[in-house]
Amino acid sequence: MRGPSPELRVIFAEEFRRQIRGFGFAFFTVLIPVLMLIAIPITPVVVDLVEGDDSEGVPVVTGAPLERIGYADPAGVLPVREPQAASRRYGDLAAGIEAVRQGEIDAFFVLPSSYIESGVVEHYRASGESRGRFWGNAAAEFAFRSFLTGELIAGQVEPSILARALHPADYRNFEIGADGAVAEAIPLAQEIGELLVPTLLAALLLIGVLSGSGALMRSVAEEKETRMIEMLVTSAAPLSIMSGKLLALGLAGLIQIAVWIAVATFTMPAIFDRIPNGGDLTISAGLLTTVSLSFVLGYFLFSVLALFIASVVSSSADAQKYTGLLSLLTALPIWLAGLFISQPDGAVAQILSYFPFTAPTTLMVRLGAGSDMSEGEIALALGITAGTALVLLWVASRVFRAGILLSGQRITGRNVWAALWHAQ
Amino acid sequence: MTRASLPASETVLRVKDLTKTFGRRTVVDGVSFDVRRGEMFGFLGPNGSGKTTTIRMALGIIRPDAGSIGILGSPPERSVLRAVGYLPEERGLPRKLRVLDALRYLGRLKGLTVAEAEDRAIALLQQLDLDEHYKKRVEALSRGMTQLVQFAAAIIHAPEFIVLDEPFAGLDPLNVERMKEMLFERQRTGATIMFSTHIMSDVEELCDRVALIADGHLLLFGDLAEIKRQRGANAVLVQAPRVPEALTAGRPAVARSGVVEHVLEGGSTPEAVLRAYLDAGISVERFELALPTLNDIFIEEVSRARSIS
């Protein structure tokens, strides 16, 4: 069996190097994991904000506190206990400050004598910490608040009541059908997972298209504009040039996705751990397979579309304009996510599922929103996407060489036809 | 700077009845010529005459509507084109790429290993006096420097046949000389060179044979000296102490550095000019037939072709 030509390998290596060295690739590859990591400390704060400050809601901390905290109790409202994992008691303010300075604890709280009347708690921490001051404060205050709640009512009620007060409810959800039949609802974690994972993948597809396909389109257009392409086509077959670029883009995209998924594997459980009743993020295998397939086919389709456009435009400025078209086609279903979530099987959702350039993202968002699409409908939408990508690949490979002639001309159906004709 | 003597007359490029039409416009119409191994061949023509389209067809970049092409004994296929170096007319390299990376990339596409491509790139950059710039991005170079780098890319793989489309356009005189010297060097090592231009002095300096094209039609093709001889002398150059009155009656002769040019007009012949000197008893130190310049031929041929069409 013949392997890829040496020229294809050279073009692949060069294009891959160019892709991963590009600003867009580095930016988005790093940005998503950073956002995921930031989400870990933010989650409890957001949850806290969402739950509000009402006295009925008792914040719940599962697992270890986020920070090592200490406290002093001049108000005398907390029981004196043995040293605990959650927090450490100090005799006075000076001892607490020294503990912070020595690094024994991250934050030190003082309940002043007026605490019961005023509710004011003093919070001390070291200055110049490397981490964000706001998030460090918020995490420590959240942890201390939970501790304080438990301690204030400890001894006032039965231990079992206290435990329940700290963790008042685990919900089981049921749905009543139109016929009166009652069925257990999908667990919250699974519901969130099945909405979150496809929607995230749709967003990642948009980012991938923006950073990868857009860069590829601009680079090919630049090669045409500068006539570099003429030097390339005297060295390599147009199909080798195109395949090399396409494979490089695909590999760069896969690496990007692999980095995101690898980071998500570690961060998502940590984020869900910090959500009350979050449990484990789950998603059904069938849905995961379908959205993954949609993602891969969508990435392939938009890569081929980028190459096709680059084949017929004559300047990188023109290519820049068409990058907007690529992102519009990818983003449209995300913009309509609200509509899809309320009507996952509505007319708009159905139409966009069978239009090849919106099908991959629409499918991901619809399935995440709980659409009742049959297996046949899903297969048809994916088939349209794959079929369009293959037809476009064939056309692009025909036009690619002849497209060199279209220097300085606008992209029109007539030009494309002329390019196809010259490729005969 | 010396021209290499031509070795065997083996044909490196042969185009026959080449025709290309874009829409309703025929840009190349039945053009035929050949380039012999080891020679420096000039492909001349005014702007928009079809030179670049002919070169693109010869290199298989675009397909002709009619006619045949033989390059290094084969149709313009990839395997053959590996032995060809090409400098396109509109120049440019990927702007974000570093100079060395761009040369390595293009060298590798021509079959060099990474080490070979880098070694040759550095050597060429040194020759072009660009060795300080090899780490720079292409976008940081001047237009002339970019052109030299692209010239280096065209010859990095030591091609048998070098095709340059307007290679000297936009270069300063120093770099033009440097590039010419490198072309002579390549020719001495056996490379065949074809370049297109509309600067006639370059062709007269470098080329043995030429083809002239205008509006897609081949107007002239052959040995440059022979073409000039066929045109015949249109003036004589005479070095003598003075000019006979018989020759200055109509209009004064033009003298440059002691040499007088007598334009042969109104049935005047070189013999008549010489006789006028001898009859006047003036001793002639130098008497030379002035052949038309390539520039004269170019203007005359192109003007005639356009007046006919």
Contact A228 B92 (CB under 8 A): yes
Contact B60 A230 (CB under 8 A): no
Domain shared by A299 and A162, yes or no: no
Residue B133 has pLDDT above 50, yes or no: yes
For B241-288, give the secondary structure using H, E and C: CCCCHHHHCCCCCEEECCEEEEECCCCCCHHHHHHHHHHCCCCCCEEE
Contact A235 B110 (CB under 8 A): yes
**In the structure encoding, which two tokens stand for residue A375, read together?**
């297996």
pLDDT for residue A84:
64
A7: nearest CB among B22, B95, B109:
B109
**Quick one: which H or E segment has residue B185?**
helix B173-188
Residue A177 has pLDDT above 80, yes or no: no
Domain shared by B167 and B119, yes or no: yes
A230: nearest CB among B22, B61, B108:
B61
Average pLDDT over residues B169-187: 90
Domain shared by B164 and B27, yes or no: yes
**What distance in Å separates residue A424's CA from the closest CA in chain B?**
9
Residue B55 has pLDDT above 80, yes or no: yes
CA A160/CA A205 separation, integer angstroms: 49
Domain shared by B220 and B238, yes or no: no
Last residue of one domain, picked from the residues A167, A201, A231: A167
**What distance in Å separates residue A404's CA from the closest CA in chain B?**
8
Report residue A59 CA to chain centroid gap. Answer: 27
Provide the number of structural domains found in chain A: 2
Residue B134 has pLDDT above 80, yes or no: yes
The phi, psi pair for A327, rounded to 5°, reads: -70, -35
CA A204/CA A199 separation, integer angstroms: 9
Higher local confidence (pLDDT), B75 or A64: B75
Q: Structural domain of residue B76, as residue ranges?
A: 11-228
Domain shared by B177 and B85, yes or no: yes
Q: Structural domain of residue A133, as residue ranges?
A: 58-167
pLDDT for residue A186:
67
Domain shared by A350 and A411, yes or no: yes
User: Is B304 part of a structural domain of the chain?
Assistant: no
Which pLDDT band, with edges at 50, 70 and 90, does B273 fall under?
A: confident
Contact A226 B154 (CB under 8 A): no
Last residue of one domain, picked from the residues A167, A202, A221: A167
Angle at B145 between CA B139 and CA B151, to 5 degrees: 110
Q: Which of B122, B162, B172 is nearest to A231 (CA)?
A: B162
Is B260 part of the contact surface with chain A (CB cutoff 8 Å)? Answer: no
Provide the number of structural domains found in chain B: 2
pLDDT for residue A62:
41
Contact B109 A232 (CB under 8 A): yes
User: Is B301 part of a structural domain of the chain?
Assistant: no
Domain shared by A317 and A390, yes or no: yes
CB contact at 8 A, A121 and A77: no
User: Is B189 part of a structural domain of the chain?
Assistant: yes
> Which residues in chain B are contacts of A234 at CB distance < 8 A?
59-61, 81, 84, 86
Is B111 part of the contact surface with chain A (CB cutoff 8 Å)? Answer: yes
Domain shared by B121 and B42, yes or no: yes
Q: Which residue out of A15, A231, A424 would a mutagenesis test of the B interface target, given it has the greatest number of B Cβ atoms within 10 Å?
A: A231
Contact B90 A226 (CB under 8 A): yes
**What distance in Å separates residue A234's CA from the closest CA in chain B?**
6
Residue B112 has pLDDT above 90, yes or no: yes
Residue B221 has pLDDT above 50, yes or no: yes
User: Is B307 part of a structural domain of the chain?
Assistant: no
B94: nearest CB among A228, A234, A404:
A228
A274 by Cβ neighbours in 10 Å (0-12 / 13-18 / 19+) ranks as buried
> Which residues in chain B are contacts of A14 at CB distance < 8 A?
105
Domain shared by A158 and A211, yes or no: no
Q: Which residue out of B82, B109, B138, B161 would a mutagenesis test of the A interface target, given it has the greatest number of A Cβ atoms within 10 Å?
A: B109
User: Is A326 part of a structural domain of the chain?
Assistant: yes
Domain shared by A230 and A135, yes or no: no
What does pLDDT average to over chain B?
86
Residue A416 has pLDDT above 70, yes or no: no
Is B250 part of the contact surface with chain A (CB cutoff 8 Å)? Answer: no
pLDDT for residue A279:
59
Partner A, chain B 6-25, Cβ-Cβ below 8 Å: 22
User: Is B300 part of a structural domain of the chain?
Assistant: no
Contact A14 B106 (CB under 8 A): no
CA A232/CA B110 separation, integer angstroms: 9
Domain shared by A362 and A328, yes or no: yes
Domain shared by B131 and B276, yes or no: no
How does pLDDT run across A258-295, given as a tens digit for each residue?
A: 888 888 878 877 777 776 655 566 667 788 788 888 88
Domain shared by A159 and A252, yes or no: no
Domain shared by A121 and A154, yes or no: yes
Domain shared by A342 and A236, yes or no: yes
B108 by Cβ neighbours in 10 Å (0-12 / 13-18 / 19+) ranks as buried
pLDDT for residue A132:
45
Give percent helix, percent strand, percent coil of chain A, each to the nearest 5.
65, 5, 30
Residue B129 has pLDDT above 60, yes or no: yes
Q: Which of B141, B130, B137 is nearest to B102 (CA)?
A: B137
Tell the residue number behind the tokens 């570093």, with chain if given.
Answer: B98
The phi, psi pair for A86, rounded to 5°, reads: -70, -40
Contact B86 A225 (CB under 8 A): no
Residue A374 has pLDDT above 80, yes or no: yes
Average pLDDT over residues A388-408: 72
User: Is A51 part of a structural domain of the chain?
Assistant: no
Contact A227 B88 (CB under 8 A): yes
Domain shared by A230 and A363, yes or no: yes
Q: Residue B141 gets which letter from DSSP?
A: S
List the single range of A130-144, A174-188, B136-150 with lowest mean pLDDT: A130-144
C-beta atoms surrounding A93 within 10 Å:
15
Domain shared by A338 and A243, yes or no: yes
How does pLDDT run across A215-255, given as a tens digit for each residue?
A: 777 778 778 777 788 888 888 887 788 888 888 888 888 88
CB contact at 8 A, A342 and A195: no
User: Is A180 part of a structural domain of the chain?
Assistant: no
Domain shared by A207 and A336, yes or no: yes
CA A30/CA A36 separation, integer angstroms: 10
Last residue of one domain, picked from the residues A124, A139, A167: A167
Contact A233 B61 (CB under 8 A): yes
Residue B222 has pLDDT above 80, yes or no: yes
C-beta atoms surrounding B200 within 10 Å:
18
Is B59 part of the contact surface with chain A (CB cutoff 8 Å)? Answer: yes
Contact A222 B95 (CB under 8 A): yes
Domain shared by B181 and B208, yes or no: yes
Q: Which residue out of A234, A401, A412 would a mutagenesis test of the B interface target, given it has the greatest number of B Cβ atoms within 10 Å?
A: A234
Cβ contacts below 8 Å, chain A against chain B, sum to 66
The pTM is what?
0.68
Is B114 part of the contact surface with chain A (CB cutoff 8 Å)? Answer: no
Contact B89 A227 (CB under 8 A): yes
Domain shared by B147 and B248, yes or no: no
pLDDT for residue B7:
44
**In the structure encoding, which two tokens stand for residue B54, read together?**
């002919």
CATH number of residue B52's parent domain? 3.40.50.300
